[in-house]
Amino acid sequence: MAMCGIIGVMDRKRRTMDGSGIRQALSMMNERGSGEGAGYVAYGVYPDYRDCYALHVFFDNIRENKIIVDAALEQWGTIEHDEAIPTYDQPNLRSVHTPWRYFFKPDPSLAPASTSPEDDIVSALVMRINTARRGALIFSSGKNVGVFKAGGWPEDVADFYRIEDYEGYTWLAHNRYPTNTPGWWGGAHPFNLLGWSVVHNGEITSYGTNRRYIESLGYICTMYTDTEVVAYLIDLLVRRHDLDLDLAVRALAPPFWEEIDRMPEAKQEWNRALRLTYAPAMMNGPFAIVAADADTMVGFTDRSKLRPMVVGECADRLYISSEEAAIRAMEPKVESITMPAAGEPVIGRVAP
Amino acid sequence: MAKQVAIDGNGVHYTPLNQQIRKAVADGADEIVISNVLGQRFIGDGLRGNITIHIHGVPGGDLAIFMSGPTIIVHGNAEHAPGNTMDAGKVVIHGNAGDAVAHSMRGGKVFVRGDIGYRGGIHMKQYEDRCPILVIGGTAQAYLGEYMAGGLLLVLGLHGPIKTREIGSGIHGGEIIIRGDVDDACLATGATKVPLTDEDRARIAPVIREFAGDFGLDPEPLINVEYTRIIPASARPFVGKYTWE
């Protein structure tokens, strides 16, 4: 039952972990996957380029496709450095894309009307390059963060990137069991846009409504799977609309109307307002989601709790996963294990 | 003399682990102690026989699935759906358990000392003398007894009263008995509260005593106290819900 395996870990003091622990934790949940997609995201992996947007790109063909991305980036800013993401052939992983990374500084003077010109330039470039479908897909675009994903089992994907060579203070990981669309590299989780990354177990049955809403606001879905829309919804609500994270989660997974009816009047009022304002952002269907940015990690499930979620704590570390065993694989001495209530966000923040 | 077999579960996949368990049963073991269990699913899958299995660690989902006869004692938490479609025997969990505990259980007993997640007892069923029993020491989350078709689901609320929604959502058989009063707002459509009769109390008393015995608790304060019995509102509570007759 309840396929796809997810796990997230955050160190509130920003002490880094290499990727070997989360690799092992994710492989504990191989029963939840089907070998068609796995991935990892780590925050804090590019300290030498912390001021640059780290763009991870899948190229179909370096010679033909890279020139297009180079030209687009140079038009909007400066490429401080770019290189192939080091990879190591895995016998069970069909290598169909070449992962590349750019460290990019957008030129804010080119978007004078924007209050966040750099983010807006990068987000527009991601949308433009991905929709052009010219053999280049930007799947990771934040500062000091990197997504490492591919089509395959968690261990093979981890070894393809030698995930243990990366050090991050927050990690998310996902073991995929695609059900509604074929597995492919771009459809593996995590999904990322700028600072936020998302892993998800379940299916967003409101995808059509959510997608129409988000596409009317300038996002374009290109990955053939529902979770992409969650990454864009979080970017819209948290970055662009500046909602508090717990309010954003409440907009995505609001209480049932009958629960709202039983609330005290003042609480009723804002819950109604939020639910009505963000009706097309509300997500239906079974889901357990863990999302993170540079300072935060949040986990939440659908309001009927149709997918599992377990939370572990150990000193400065917060864990959120589909299974307790995965947490214990990473942290045998875990101090507390709890199950959050349906629809209630579990939020961890790094110390300022 | 009882024959005991020890198995180290460290890093062993569930298939060879279950093979080792079956071999021990075939070799006439009376007791198996499995150490270092972490996340292995389906432990005791379809297992038969008169044997007790101690599990140290956290077994994975669907513990004791289709099991018919043995006793499994978990010294830790369990994940989703322990007792899934279990036929006979007993599962005793000293910690908490995940969602869908006793999923489709059709006989035997599942005792959980702590709390359980959502949809406990989903689709439990009974037939003639087969009547599954699920007892929760702590509390349970929403959709308790969802689509329940038979059996007994007992919540003792040892750490406080149950506060959740949609109890008995889709219930059309069996009974949910919860210590203390249960607010009407916690009940799902099609579920109704009825008083606990002396007969009912006499029926659950031995179950409470057995549960208390397994966990070293004093049963007496749990016997003659208030319980709420929740059953289907009628023989066919959902007639007309999806079709017109």
When pLDDT is cut at 50, 70 and 90, the band that residue B235 belongs to is confident
Answer yes or no: do A324 and B58 touch at CB < 8 A.
yes
Q: Which domains does chain B have, with CATH numbers?
A: 4-232 (2.160.20.60)
pLDDT at residue A34, rounded to an integer: 87
Residue A291 burial by Cβ neighbours in a 10 Å radius (0-12, 13-18, 19+) = buried
Confidence category of residue B245, pLDDT binned at 50, 70, 90: low
> For position B62, what pLDDT does the model report?
98
Cβ–Cβ below 8 Å for B96 and A337: yes
**Cβ–Cβ of B77/A337 closer than 8 Å?**
yes
Torsion sign over Cα B4, B10, B15, B16: negative
Distances (CA, A) of A141 to A106, A121, A314, A330, B128: 12, 11, 30, 27, 62
CA distances from A345 to A228, A251, A283 (A): 20, 11, 14
Q: Which residues of B touch A305 (CB under 8 A)?
A: 99, 117-119, 141-143
Q: Edge to edge, what strands does the sheet with B4-8 contain? A: B4-8, B31-38, B52-58, B68-75, B88-93, B109-112, B133-136, B149-155, B173-179, B227-232, B191-194
The pLDDT, as a whole number, for residue B170 is: 92
pLDDT in tens, A247-258: 999 999 999 998
Q: Which residues of chain A have a pLDDT value below 70?
A: 1-2
Report the SS3 class of residue B164. coil
Structural domains in chain A plus CATH codes = 5-349 (3.60.20.10)
DSSP conformational letter for B141: -
Nearest to B38 among A259, A328, A339 (CB): A328
Point out the residue among B77, B115, B118 whose CB comes nearest to the CB of A324: B77
Pairwise CB contact (< 8 Å): A310 & B98: yes
Determine the pLDDT at residue B95. Answer: 97
Q: Name the pLDDT band for B212 (thresholds 50, 70, 90).
A: very high
- The A-side interface with B (CB below 8 A) comprises 1-2, 28-29, 31, 259, 262, 304-305, 308, 310, 323-326, 328-329, 337, 339, 341-342
Q: Quote the pLDDT of residue A2.
A: 56
Over residues B103-116, the mean pLDDT reads 98
- pLDDT score of A202: 92
Residue A247: φ, ψ to 5°: -70, -40
From B94's Cα to the closest Cα of chain A, the distance in A is: 14
**Calpha distance B124→B112 (Å, rounded):** 16
Q: What is the pLDDT of residues B17-32, one digit of tens each?
A: 999 999 999 999 999 9
Q: Chain A residue with minimal CA distance to B163?
A: A341
How far off is chain A from B110, nearest CA to CA, in Å?
Answer: 20
DSSP structure string for A81-138: EEEEPP----TTS---SEEEEEEEEE-GGG-TT-SSHHHHHHHHHHHHHHHHTSSEEE
- Output the pLDDT for position A291: 97
Residue A221 a catalytic site member: no
User: What is the percentage of chain B residues whose pLDDT exceeds 70?
Assistant: 99
3-class SS at B185? helix
Please compute the mean of the pLDDT values over residues B140-158 and round it to a whole number: 97
pLDDT at B110: 98
Nearest CA in chain B to A24: B11
φ/ψ (deg, to 5) at A198? -135, 135
Res A170: pLDDT: 98
pLDDT at B1: 66
Over the stretch B39-89, which tens digit does the pLDDT of each residue have?
Answer: 999 999 999 999 999 999 999 999 999 999 999 999 999 999 999 999 999
Which residues are bridge partners to B177 per DSSP?
B154, B229
CA pair distance B78, B53, nearest whole angstrom: 14
* CB spacing of B98 vs A308 below 8 angstroms: yes
Of B35, B67, B75, the closest CA to residue B51 belongs to: B67
Residue A1's pLDDT is 46
